[in-house]
Chains A and B, each alone.
Chain A
């Protein structure tokens, strides 16, 4: 997929664990892992908003577009 999730980079920067993020965002650790591993097909705006709030960042900090080919 051309959209990469760089959630792990931002979590490392903010020194936040998966457990902490899952508690703050209110989604399961399994779903955080799906996001981190780039297996998610889509992300809801409200989830994105909660993640940005928890990590104090912008959507562009955790999502990046990569040109294919």
Chain B
């Protein structure tokens, strides 16, 4: 599989992920929330706070997908070790860190406001661990790609 084909496949898979994410954030979560609101009217006041939290958390996910698209575009141009790829990875790292901090802060605020059952902290913890792992890996890969770009430039400018 050459660079162009690989990039096409990655873009195709990413498009599916984007569609699934849209279905999750804007259809499944509100639908689940409405079902829970109907089943447990005593928790109806939690509907909007949780929905807003989900939507705010979705923004970095979509921004990360845009950055991934930029990376795949550079792969298609056979320009994997380049400054735009390094910058896109750094951006993904920061977005993952933002979502991790958001999850940590909001879950704790909701917990101390009696809006979050203690058991729900466990999935929040997994989200935070996952987000932190993505952030660390993306930061490291961004650094390597940046170093690779410098080496590539040095090699190209060595006559």
Interface residues of A, Cβ cutoff 8 Å to B: 27, 31, 34-35, 39-44, 47
Contacts and interface: CB of A to CB of B under 8 A. Distances in A.
Binding site secondary structure of chain B: mixed
B13 interface: no
Nearest to A35: B159
Binding site secondary structure of chain A: loop
A41 B158 CA distance: 6
A43 B154 CA distance: 11
A41 B85 CA distance: 23
B59 to A, nearest CB: 41
B62 to A, nearest CB: 39
Contacts of B39: none
Interface in B116-159: 153-154, 157-159
A2 to B, nearest CB: 17
